[in-house]
Structure 1
């Protein structure tokens, strides 16, 4: 039933006699859901409830319409406010619970006042909420001279805020968006403040308080008409070529459609059928991935891939395009798959900010398991000021780095069912691998320890008390510590260290090294070396001689209980503690099983000695690792590994020990899951495509479910019943 605003206003609720304002101490208990035009809607909500049994208000004057809806809800009715783009559905919270519905949000307070602060205080008081617990505050000015247009703006703002709550998304002032983090076990709370003009009205401000509902928006589809992804398989070059041109023919047919919406639907259907057929294929030897942003680009990717196939097969190499299309004629398979975990310093402002739209269930699980906000150091990483993330302390960077690796590990393993055979870490990345691969029982316990333990706050960082003790400095003498990346082999640096006792060779990594210590001495050594160093401006004595005094403390810090099944873990964990000694083995191989003490000692050995990342990568390849997937923020380790493999090839060629056709570079592959400055999803899909081409078992379910929802949406929008509500999307 549609209610006529003009007729109902005679005797309807007003600001003075609003039934809902009679008892300001009682919170509103109104369940709210947003139904965007064309969206499939709520789990268990039938068309009969939404249309036949509900009262519909056509949007005209926002505050009056909203008051009317709330008074009807207070009388036990189900009400919708309709606009051209969206519908807001209101019902008593108890009714929603009885019907087992999952509201996007609850409207818990709505109050008027002469000032914005007064209205907000009243509304929060009605909602029984503390201002300190409000996660998001938004304000809007409504001009009564343009009432209809302004009402639409206010209505859209309310719908957007409810959508953000349901999608767990914060929108900052610059319109950038990221996950809506909260303290553990705390619901999201938001306020919307409206200023009504002219301001000379007695109650010119209204505030609303919204709290998190039990409903979440469905995951966004990884694939869409603007993000195309197709897979082809075959046992030979001829089969792959045939598949490429068959796909090209299908695209030609789609291009002939005159309607853009039909082209989009046809592309979604094509990808859905393509993934289904690929999933049914009986593990052929070769697979290639095609990615593009539109149908024309996909056609070009097909041409480029077709032209490259013969050369790739002849060289047993690989081919990839900037768009993400990929093929290898020498697939490495899961048996050579290694997860690589980066160390401190790779985290960056707004990292991984897109992922929660596509994997909301994953974020919900991680929130239940531990403090996700603390794990990612969200207050710093997602601060509006980029410099806050750049100026994080060593401990906080370590926490955020482990958190990013943990999240990406769970994404890859839980959502795509990718399982590694090997794992290794760069520096503190070794701690990340133990935390991320289901070894430690409670890795989250290390968050508070890292923030408070002197080891990270003052001993090997901050005041550098371990360095002061090693250098025998008085308390009043300042330590000017720095580290420098220098393009040099380690030998020339090592030859000079005796003359610079306060300089240390901290890290060896391919064609570069990292020296650390007294800033003045480091600069003098670099001058004598004839090399230019890039200052890292980071205060940490890890991998230097002074850290050796902390070996027992590091063991105590990282000695964590492990899961019972982790004793005989299927992954081979490769540590720089062994490879630095020239030993090719996994942690626990000699003892036959893993133990908390063994793991902690391995971390401490790496932590307190110079890190030879070159030796670590070379040892990993000798043990069988070939396909290196970097599981963490940015792609710095991929760059280093590529350089190390090329450097190793050159050394072996000079020694006449290796033919150019059998080099490590061609036998190995690096795959980043994330890259600073690139789209999270684009980089992820490129990684998935590479893994599939290397014949690593990858679940396609996430891709298929997203396409299924996209197709349902397109069919609904293109049908005659575009506003019909259907089941399953709450």
Structure 2
């Protein structure tokens, strides 16, 4: 057991093509998308001479040491603990490093051991004396002349998996800087996590189980959400470790199924001996600090002989990394690391380091800034200037080869963009390599030429069919010769909040929510985590974490995931709550990260509820969770048992359990038809309703299934059932009007500048408690005419429509509606009218990574003249910067949020 708690105050790593800690941290999260070079050794980057290896160790420890920002008091005292550190290298190779490493000025001593357990034993003795200790795990496969080189595919899983075939060999360096917790607090050192418990044992089942139980005693509460395992390659040690963990954690966490994740860094890197030992600990620290649960590469299922034991345990084995939300009781999260070698075993328990002021606890990273995907911006006043700059960019590309070269080029283009942001046109290029960027530039040169030809023809009145004034590529590069925002009226990036961007945030209905929604958003945009967490007492429950990110022992196949989606869609209260929660997430990304506020906003169906919550109209939107969970209207009257319909149509109640009660009594269909056609076909039908008009020629038809099918047959159109049995936007829903008003009546904040449009009146809604509640109730009872809503917004100035939710349905309907208006004007030859220039932008697409979708969205917005703060795409690091200026900046960032929390209720008089 530890005599003193230990703070991890520095982190560093390199392996394969990942040359710094930010790229390593990204690789550890993404996992399966890592290239095939993970098995290549560090000799690709450096010489393997001992003196050079010493330089690698010196550099790694120097980076960690140099990142520490000591207080003035500590500097004045010249405490010996801050002058030098002790280095312990964990390597299973014979390395003569002591003399070379010790020569560096910041290092006091160096020792080389072969086991992490040995290193920790030595480290504890030094830390108890008030020393700073660096643990450095190192492996160079090219030094292992006796290692058999096998052709193992890099799509490794771990040795607990029934499909496991073996690990590839991996080289790398992983380092952590340890300090006594008391000294870390005194000197205000950046802290990534805390080591609370440690127990070391021999390699046998009884001793290992005792070590696990002893280490777990270091924490009072059962908050271990993650266990990083070693999962060694050989069958004996693999089964030994898994059996010990299953038995020990069953004793401690009996009856808590699917509550603790198993992770293993070897599923990413393969076997790296001392490097792997320390990287497992580093990965655990990063996962705690960055608030996520890591996935296991290519995990399928446990070995058959252990399947029953896994199923009866508290563990699950995630196949994708995902966000880890705060504990509902406010307690810290903890994680454990099970480190097994051939000769020793240790079990470590760590806890996250959280700031006292939760609003300041923003844990930044370099996830997007380290992405292989880069945004390269080119702007100019006319076609000639754009083509000139594209040619200049193309000329530079042959000399640029590596990841860092492309990153530098993208950064230089961004800086140039900032200084010339008032230029009329902007091209946004997306690429993951220099070769790809070369192709995108070539496509842009021809594409932009064609776009300007089309634009000049249109200005002369020579409109050709399908002529485009926008250019885009499958990758997502984009250019518009007709920016939706009038660039002549815009301000510079530095004053983006002072001018209108003509932006409308659109909030979709609840039907688009799906399993896996938003899995990576908090890793991409860590700035929003605390703001979103503050929206509810249990934000994980509000965002339906266990439903959207299902836990399992074996990988869920396509059929199982599809069934989870169907089950999710069948519960109106759950998807409504998740829809509201993620609307807040999507909105925060734009308002907090990109500094873009909406001039207009609207909601489609229950998206109106999302709109008010996401834009901060209600003081406590988190109250909606309990209200929806206990709402008879949305759990049994208009959904579930559909009691309102049964009473209205004199149908048997569910408790009668007859064949008639088992048959569905409500279905919603999407069909291609106009409202006039549907109304004509519905004459004489009392149980069929046109609930929503999506576009001028596409509607939703809902009601009693047999009656709906009869109307559909009359129309002679195809229909697609949506499998959503909820009876909103229909005459029967009006019976629940008063209950809806009560449900949505909540205290409001001070009025915001955004104009909030509702389909209840097709006008801006007064931001008063009762007005909002009545607007929502009326919206949910009446038919939604979305084309009318879109045209109203456009006529009042909206030009940029951003869909704040899953899917791109609203974007598609906006495009079709405005295109229909353009054609109508051409046919009727409306005098004084002009083509409706606009852009619709989705920010989430099922089956496409969140990162790529946001890059594509940003490319569109920038080219259409929308002013955004794009710094997070180019800059950022997981390395904590504790300089005083950062604290001031963080406080400034939160000032608006704090003011909102403290605002008083607004009177409804």
The reply on whether 1:364 has 2:530 as its aligned counterpart is yes
The equivalent of 2:800 in structure 1 is 627
The question of 1:349 aligning with 2:532 is answered no
Sort the Cα spacing of 1:673 and 1:209 in 2 relative to 1 into closer, same or farther, 3 A.
Answer: same
* Deviations 1:203-238 (CA, angstroms, capped at 9, x unpaired): x86432211124886422534573222222222222
Instruction: Give 1:153's match in structure 2, choosing from 271, 276, 284.
Output: 276
SS of the counterpart of 1:135?
Answer: strand
Tell me which residue corresponds to 1:383: 550
Q: Is it true that 1:193 corresponds to 2:372 in the alignment?
A: no
Which residue number corresponds to residue 562 of structure 1? 748
Q: Is the 8 A contact 1:57 1:80 kept in 2?
A: no
Asked if 1 retains the 8 angstrom alpha-carbon contact of 2:193 and 2:352, the reply is yes
- For residues 499 and 350 of structure 1, the distance between their equivalents in structure 2, rounded to whole angstroms, comes to 43
Q: Counterpart of 1:492 in 2: which secondary structure?
A: helix
Q: Residue 139 in 1 paired to residue 139 in 2?
A: no
Q: Distance in 2 between matches of 1:117 and 1:344?
A: 47
- Structure 1 range deviating more: 237-246 or 145-154: 145-154
Q: Which segment is superposed worse, 273-282 or 643-652?
A: 643-652
In structure 2, the CA distance between the partners of 1:575 and 1:284, relative to structure 1 (3 Å rule), is same
TM-score (norm 2): 0.68
Structure 1 residue 190: deviation in Å? 1.3
Q: Identify the residue that residue 587 of structure 2 maps to in structure 1.
A: 409
Find 1:89's aligned residue among 177, 181, 185.
177
Q: Aligned with 1:114: secondary structure?
A: helix
Partner of 1:233, secondary structure, is: strand
State the SS of the aligned residue for 2:476: coil
Q: Is the 8 A contact 1:56 1:80 kept in 2?
A: no
C-alpha separation between the residues in 2 aligned to 1:117 and 1:618?
67
Change (3 A) 1:480 1:146: closer
- The residue correspondences of 1:229-248 to structure 2 (distance < 5 A) are 229-248=375-394
Residue 348 of structure 2 corresponds to residue 208 of structure 1:
yes
Structure 1 stretches lacking a partner, 5+ long: 1-19, 199-203, 580-584, 589-593, 714-724
Partner of 2:700: 514
Counterpart CA distance in 2 for 1:155 and 1:363 is 28
Correspondence for 2:12 among 30, 35, 40: 35
Q: Give the whole-Å Cα distance in 2 for the aligned partners of 1:171 and 1:534.
A: 38
SS at match of 1:83: strand
Distance change (3 Å), C-alpha of 1:47 and 1:36 = farther
1:553 maps to: 739
Equivalent residues in 2 for 1:179-190, closer than 5 Å: 179-184=323-328, 185-190=330-335
Provide the C-alpha distance between the structure 2 equivalents of 1:120 and 1:522, rounded to a whole number of angstroms: 61
Aligned mates of 2:116, 2:874 — CA distance in 1: 40
Deviation of 1:118 after TM superposition, in Å, equals: 4.5
Q: For residue 497 of structure 1, what is the aligned residue in structure 2? A: 682
1:318 aligned to 466, 470, 495, which one?
470
Contact 2:712 2:718 in 1 (8 A): yes
Conservation of the 8 A alpha-carbon contact between 2:484 and 2:800 = yes
| TM superposition score normalised by structure 1 | 0.84
Residue number among 395, 412, 417 corresponding to 1:278 in the alignment: 417
Pair 552,55 (structure 1): closer, same or farther in 2 beyond 3 Å: farther
For the 8 Å contact 2:134–2:175, the answer to whether it is kept is yes
Partner of 1:571: 754
Q: What's the offset of the Cα at 1:427?
A: 0.6
Which runs of structure 1 show a deviation greater than 6 angstroms over 4 or more consecutive aligned residues? 143-148, 725-730
SS at match of 1:574: strand
Query: Structure 1 residue 197: deviation in Å?
Result: 5.8
Q: Which residue number in structure 2 is paired with residue 304 of structure 1?
A: 443
Query: SS at 1:577's partner residue?
Result: coil
- 1:652 Cα deviation (Å)? 4.3
C-alpha change, 1:377 and 1:54, in structure 2 (3 Å) is: farther
Query: Alpha carbons of 1:49 and 1:658: their partners in 2 closer, same or farther (altered >3 Å)?
Result: farther
Q: Distance in 2 between matches of 1:273 and 1:155?
A: 36
Aligned length: 661
Q: Which one has more relative contact order, counting CA pairs under 8 Å at least 6 apart?
A: 1
Q: Hey, what does 1:164 align to over in structure 2?
A: 287
CA distance in 1, matches of 2:672, 2:208: 59
Query: Which digits, 9 at most, give the CA deviation of each residue in 1:652-690, with x for residues without a partner?
Result: 44444489x9443xx121111121111212211221222
Q: 1:523 to 1:424 in 2, by over 3 A?
A: same
Rate the CA distance shift 1:687–1:225 in 2: closer, same or farther, 3 A.
closer
Shift of 1:47: 8.1
Backbone CA RMSD of aligned residues: 3.1
Q: Name the structure 2 match of 1:488.
A: 673
Contact 2:136 2:278 in 1 (8 A): no
Q: 1:694 matched to which residue of 2?
A: 864
Q: 1:503 to 1:282 in 2, by over 3 A?
A: closer
- Alpha carbons of structure 1 residues 49 and 395: separation in structure 2 relative to 1, 3 Å: farther
Aligned residues of 1:59 and 1:151 also touching (Cα < 8 A): no
* In structure 2, distance between residues paired with 1:109 and 1:429: 47
**Residue in structure 2 matched with residue 434 of structure 1 by the alignment:** 612
Deviation at 1:374, TM superposition (A): 2.6
Moved more, 70-79 or 535-544: 70-79
Aligned to 2:850: 680
- Residue by residue, what CA displacement relative to the aligned partner does 1:441-498 show, whole Å, maximum 9, x if unpaired? 2212212211222122112111112212222334236253221112222222222324
1:240 shift after superposition = 1.7
Map of 1:8 onto structure 2: none
The 1:150–1:703 alpha-carbon spacing in structure 2 relative to 1, beyond 3 Å, is closer
Give the Cα–Cα distance (whole angstroms) in 2 for the partners of residues 152 and 457 of structure 1.
Answer: 53
Shift of 1:274: 1.7
Is 1:55–1:80's contact at 8 Å kept on the other side of the alignment? no
Q: Secondary structure of the equivalent of 1:607?
A: helix
